[in-house]
Chains A and B, each alone.
Chain A
Amino acid sequence: MLPFLKIMLRNLILGPSTDPFPFAPAKTHKNFRGCAVFDPEKCILCGICRHVCAAGAIQLRVSEDGSGMQYMLWHNSCVFCGMCAHYCPTGALTMSDNWHLVHTGAEMFSNCISSFIPFGECAQCGAKIQPRTQAIIDKIGERSPERFLLCPKCKRESIVRNVAKVNHLPAEENP
């Protein structure tokens, strides 16, 4: 008649199912989407993270002297969707499993990732290009590492030179 009585009795026998947290650490699955983690070594300042961020949690500002960019991710605006990490081409942004983000109201605005990313320099002419740290070269520049370190202009010139060389060789051999 009372189907719930059975469950109640079972509850009494089985004992509490309460997690020990907060007296013991809580179980966190490795897939958990916690706060974003930023590796400045891998960032190429492409801005795709900012482009896909619906919450406007990411800002990039060029420094006055043009030597780099200030990268900011404000955790109190981030909605933990992980789109930035999904679209980041170099894996500079990842979602950690850290959810211990509780803080007091006084720290409201300081709860952020702040990092200065210097621009890279063209190996030939020294013009400012996207950052070229070793981590980035290893990740996306391995096809032609030398050319990867050039600015678009020098890169173009180098390609043209190569093409010219290729075209030129047979011409010299057949006078």
Chain B
Amino acid sequence: MNEQGMQSAEKAVSQVLGAGSITWTSDVNGNFFGWVKLCDSKSLLSIAPPLAEIGARLMTVTAYGNDKFGRIAGHGIAYHFDLDGVVVTVSVCLPDSPPRVPSITPWFQNADWNEREFAELYGIILEDHPNPRRLFLDKGLDAAILDRLVPLSTMMNGASTSTLWEKVFAGKQLPEWTKGENNS
């Protein structure tokens, strides 16, 4: 049912990256998902204009660490577009450090918030963004919080959990051994 979207996406992408650069998957209801991989963040600038031209709608942008515990360096950013019911995800790898990425706001106005968000969460540097302020994070928090925090919290219990639980256990007049760290 979304043949047209597929075709125009195929055309726009292969125009820039050559044929076969988009792979397709589908779900049980016959909805198609296109996947494009870019290895250079600069090529984003060449693929954004043709996508904008065929009327793609930027749905959102996801940034991620190549490994969430930070054991492998590098980040990726996935740009999710909608073309009349077809979802095309363009993933960009950002191997260099510090990670940099050009802004696509000239073609997709609503990229504004998405870009600010990943910039503050992952410390990714945005080039040519019209309004690169913080979006959600409180001033008291460090930038790139997702990069730093996840390794820290690999211990299952965070600080406030253990304090609260100590109070719960303390209130019950249980034997001494219950008050130690969680040991099961």
Contact flags A63-83 to B (C-beta < 8 A → 1, else 0): 110000110101001000000
Is there an interface contact between B177 and A63, defined as CB atoms closer than 8 Å?
yes
- Which of B55-63, B94-102, B136-144, B159-167 contacts the other chain? B159-167
Is there an interface contact between B178 and A61, defined as CB atoms closer than 8 Å?
yes
- CB closest residue in chain B, given A64: B177
Given A56-B161, A63-B177, A77-B164, the answer on whether A110 and B184 have CB atoms closer than 8 Å is no
- B25: chain A residues at CB < 8 Å are none
Is there an interface contact between B170 and A61, defined as CB atoms closer than 8 Å?
no
- The verdict on B174 contacting chain A, using a C-beta distance below 8 Å, is yes
Is there an interface contact between A112 and B168, defined as CB atoms closer than 8 Å?
yes
Distance between A122 CB and nearest chain B CB, rounded to angstroms: 20
Candidates B172, B176, B177; contact of A114 at CB < 8 Å: B172
- The verdict on A135 contacting chain B, using a C-beta distance below 8 Å, is no
Q: Tally B residues with Cβ within 8 Å of A.
A: 19
A72–B61 alpha-carbon span in the complex (Å): 41
Q: Tally A residues with Cβ within 8 Å of B.
A: 17
Candidates B157, B164, B167, B184; contact of A61 at CB < 8 Å: B184
Is there an interface contact between A72 and B169, defined as CB atoms closer than 8 Å?
yes
Is there an interface contact between A62 and B168, defined as CB atoms closer than 8 Å?
no
- The verdict on A152 contacting chain B, using a C-beta distance below 8 Å, is no
- The verdict on B26 contacting chain A, using a C-beta distance below 8 Å, is no
- The verdict on A21 contacting chain B, using a C-beta distance below 8 Å, is no
A34–B10 alpha-carbon span in the complex (Å): 52
Is there an interface contact between A109 and B161, defined as CB atoms closer than 8 Å?
no
Distance between A76 CB and nearest chain B CB, rounded to angstroms: 8
Residues of A within 8 A of B (CB): 47, 56, 59-64, 69-70, 72, 74, 77, 109-110, 112, 114
Residues of B within 8 A of A (CB): 157, 161, 164-165, 167-172, 174-178, 180, 182-184
